[in-house]
Amino acid sequence: MEKAVAILVIINFFIIGCSHVYQRQGWKEFFVMLQSKGRAGAFANGFLSLGMGGLIVAFHNVWTGIPIILTLVGWAYLVKASTVFLFPNWGVRSMESVQSASPIKFVVAGGGMIAIALLLTIYISQGGYDSA
């Protein structure tokens, strides 16, 4: 199950990461639009983190080696989602910073997602998860 979750994350992170790099202005516009919706926009953003975070935490409980990175990402997504759902005004304020930020911020985030996808791909290609 852990390997299947890792493959799902590889696919999602690679596609979304590339989109962050090549469509950074679009991502900025997306988050500005969410922010303009107030708490409802914060909730929409929280659902994005809740879905992936819940999936990772439920089915990828690996606390050793390279896969620990994915487990920690899952927990970070759940913490973010919980914070946004319990304190939506914090989520709105967090998204406000995107308005004045350079779109290069999305290149950095996208690069991080691509790096995690590639690291997990290398791990799997070298037989990772097969012995579990």
pLDDT 10s digits, 67-78: 999 999 999 999
The answer as to whether 130 is a domain residue is: no
What distances in angstroms separate CA 121 from CA 102, 117, 127, one per listed residue? 30, 6, 10
The answer as to whether 74 is a domain residue is: yes
The answer as to whether 131 is a domain residue is: no
Instruction: Classify the phi-psi angles of 56: left when phi > 0, otherwise alpha if psi is within -120 to 50, otherwise beta.
Output: alpha
The answer as to whether 83 is a domain residue is: yes
The helix (H) or strand (E) run that includes residue 48 is helix 39-59
The answer as to whether 38 is a domain residue is: yes
- Number of domains making up the chain: 1
Per the prediction, the chain carries an average pLDDT of 92
Q: How confident is the model over 8-17, as a mean pLDDT?
A: 96
- What percent of the chain has pLDDT above 90? 76
User: Which range marks the domain in which residue 28 is found?
Assistant: 2-125
What CA–CA distance (Å, rounded) separates 66 from 63?
9
The answer as to whether 132 is a domain residue is: no
What distances in angstroms separate CA 74 from CA 26, 27, 63, one per listed residue? 25, 22, 12
The answer as to whether 27 is a domain residue is: yes
